[in-house]
C-alpha cells in the first residue's frame, strides 16, 4: 500500500469524497459543495490517497495564535490501523506550534495515544437549522 498525503486541495474530487464518506458511515449530511467549502475555509487540511482513491481526511481550524480545533479526522475502514490518521494529525499539528488543539471524539483511546488529554466538559449548540445558513 502506497499512501500519498496531500496538504493542498488541488484536484480533490468532492463528489467522490462525499460518496466514500457516505459508504463508510462517516457522512454528516454535507453536500459535495459544502464539504469543499468546509475544507477551503480551514487553516490546514490533509487528504490521504491510495492511488487515486481518497482514504483519509483531516482538517484544522485555527485562530493562528493560540487555539485550534481538529475536525473531520477519518480513515476509510479497510485502511485503519496503518498509521494513516496519526500521520495526517502529525502533519496538521506541525503547522500550529504553541497552540492549544482541541477535538471531540468517540474514540478517546486513539487520541490519548497521540498525547491528547481529556478535558472537563465540552458543549455545543446548532444555531438555526443544521447545515442551513
**Domain containing residue 43: CATH number:** 3.40.630.30
Number of domains composing the chain: 1
Residue 19 above 80 pLDDT? yes
Categorize the per-residue pLDDT at 34 as very low, low, confident or very high, splitting at 50, 70 and 90: very high
Find the domain containing 36 and state its range: 3-112
* Cα-Cα-Cα-Cα dihedral sign, residues 126, 112, 88, 57: negative
117 part of a folded domain: no
Contact status, residue 72 vs residue 56, Cβ threshold 8 Å: no
Q: In this structure, is residue 69 part of a structural domain?
A: yes
Do the domain assignments include residue 129? no
* Kind of pairing between the strands at 67-75 and 100-103: parallel
Q: How much of the chain is helix, strand and coil, in % rounded to 5?
A: 30, 25, 45
Per-residue model confidence as pLDDT tens digits over 66-78: 999 999 999 999 9
Is 122 within a domain? no
pTM given for the model: 0.91
Contacts of 102 (CB under 8 A, 6+ apart): 67, 68, 69, 70, 119, 122
Residue 114, SS3 per DSSP: coil
What's the rounded mean pLDDT across residues 37-52?
97
Question: Tens digit of pLDDT for each residue in 52-108?
Answer: 899 999 999 999 999 999 999 999 999 999 999 999 999 999 999 999 999 988 888
Whether 54 is in a domain gets the answer yes
In this predicted structure, the answer to whether residue 29 has a pLDDT above a threshold of 80 is yes
Mean pLDDT of the chain: 93
Amino acid at each position: 500500500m502506497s499512501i500519498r498525503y496531500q496538504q493542498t486541495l488541488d484536484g480533490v474530487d468532492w463528489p467522490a469524497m462525499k460518496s466514500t464518506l457516505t459508504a463508510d458511515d462517516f457522512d454528516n449530511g454535507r453536500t459535495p459543495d459544502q464539504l469543499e467549502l468546509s475544507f477551503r475555509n480551514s487553516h490546514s487540511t490533509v487528504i490521504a490517497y491510495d492511488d487515486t482513491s481518497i482514504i483519509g481526511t483531516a482538517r484544522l481550524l485555527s485562530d493562528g495564535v493560540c487555539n485550534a480545533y481538529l475536525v473531520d479526522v477519518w480513515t476509510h475502514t479497510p485502511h485503519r490501523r496503518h498509521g494513516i490518521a496519526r500521520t495526517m494529525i502529525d502533519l496538521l499539528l506541525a503547522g500550529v506550534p504553541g497552540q492549544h488543539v482541541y477535538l471531540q471524539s468517540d474514540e478517546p483511546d486513539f487520541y490519548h495515544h497521540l498525547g491528547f488529554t481529556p478535558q472537563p466538559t465540552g458543549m455545543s449548540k446548532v444555531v438555526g437549522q443544521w447545515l442551513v445558513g
